[in-house]
């Protein structure tokens, strides 16, 4: 079971840490509510976080959604907990992320060049390249190996063309570069440069349909929660929408 830590304003006299199970959009979490107010000393907050982490660990939790605005480095290292990975979430929203990032720079239209770098083909990459090639006329795909079958399929099924193994000059001229894995020589000089593999880079603002949004709890890190819900199979591609207007 995944874990969740969340801030709770609480009331004086209420227990400082309450642990139990919580359902969010039908996904189950072992949840620790940590009482915290504007006047709670940081030393007290750290002690409560440690207590919450210890109790979640006893429930078999190894991955946890962090509280809102809580640095990962503040997790007790000896508790054996790690933040839920956002990598799958990042891959789920790539094509919409590219669209929003381009729009925030005033770049639109179908004649946009998108360069994509990855190690090998997988389902997420195939879906992303397919979505991008249906939206933009020029998609450049740089793989360490493979890709020929995908390009033939896209041409045969949709009549779109994807350029394999682009040159350095072609990559540099692209309006957007999307890296599923580190790639030497990709300098980052493109108007949009997204390092999908790097979980330290900020995610864009993601929103769900209103009926789902209203069921999300407060006091918890939003990106981590959405990543956990995606991992639990609650979220599907297309349900998450990237808000335009930000400059990653």
In tens, the pLDDT along 232-241 reads: 999 987 889 9
**pLDDT per residue as tens digits for the range 27-57:** 999 999 999 988 889 899 889 999 999 999 9
Q: CB burial class (10 A; 0-12, 13-18, 19+) of residue 77?
A: exposed
Tokens for 147? 């890709």
Q: Taking all residues of the chain, what is their mean pLDDT, rounded to a whole number?
A: 91
Please state, as a whole number, how many other Cβ atoms lie within 10 Å of the Cβ of residue 231: 17
The CA distances from residue 202 to 8, 157, 243, in Å, are 25, 35, 14
Nearest to 114 by CA among 54, 59, 60, 191: 191
pLDDT tens-place string over residues 89-116: 999 999 999 999 999 999 988 899 999 9
Tell me the C-alpha distance between 177 and 140, whole Å: 9
Percent of the chain beyond pLDDT 70? 97
Going through the chain in order, the beta strands assigned E by DSSP cover 2-8, 17-24, 27-35, 63-65, 82-83, 113-118, 138-143, 162-164, 176-179, 192-195, 206-207, 241-242
What is the distance, to the nearest Å, from the Cα of residue 99 to the centroid of all Cα atoms in its chain?
Answer: 16
3-state secondary structure of 224: helix
- In this prediction, residues 187-198 reach a mean pLDDT of 93
The rounded distance, in Å, linking the Cα atoms of 193 and 21 is 40
Predicted local confidence at residue 42, as pLDDT: 87
- At residue 247, does pLDDT exceed 60? no
pLDDT at 248: 45
Q: 3 by DSSP, 3-state: which?
A: strand
Q: What percent of the chain has pLDDT over 90?
A: 72
């Amino acid at each position: 079971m995944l874990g969740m830590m969340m801030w709770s304003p609480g009331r004086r006299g209420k227990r400082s840490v309450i642990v139990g199970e919580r359902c969010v959009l039908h996904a189950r979490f072992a949840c620790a509510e940590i009482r915290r107010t504007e006047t709670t000393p940081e030393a007290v907050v750290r002690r409560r976080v440690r207590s919450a982490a210890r109790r979640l660990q006893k429930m078999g939790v190894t991955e946890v959604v962090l509280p809102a605005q809580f640095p990962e480095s503040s997790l007790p290292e000896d508790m054996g907990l790690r933040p839920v990975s956002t990598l799958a979430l990042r891959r789920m929203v790539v094509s919409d992320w590219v669209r929003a990032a381009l729009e925030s720079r005033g770049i639109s239209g179908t004649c946009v060049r998108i360069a994509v770098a990855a190690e090998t083909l997988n389902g997420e990459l195939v879906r992303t390249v397919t979505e991008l090639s249906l939206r933009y006329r020029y998609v450049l795909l740089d793989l360490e190996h493979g890709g020929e079958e995908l390009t033939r399929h896209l041409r045969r099924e949709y009549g779109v063309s994807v350029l394999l193994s682009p040159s350095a000059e072609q990559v540099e001229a692209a309006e957007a570069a999307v890296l599923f894995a580190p790639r030497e020589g990709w300098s980052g000089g493109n108007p949009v440069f997204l390092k999908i593999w790097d979980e330290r880079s900020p995610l864009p603002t993601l929103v769900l349909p209103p009926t789902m949004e209203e069921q999300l709890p407060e006091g918890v890190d939003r990106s981590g929660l959405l990543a956990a819900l995606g991992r639990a199979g609650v979220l599907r591609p297309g349900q998450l929408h990237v808000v335009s207007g930000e400059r990653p």
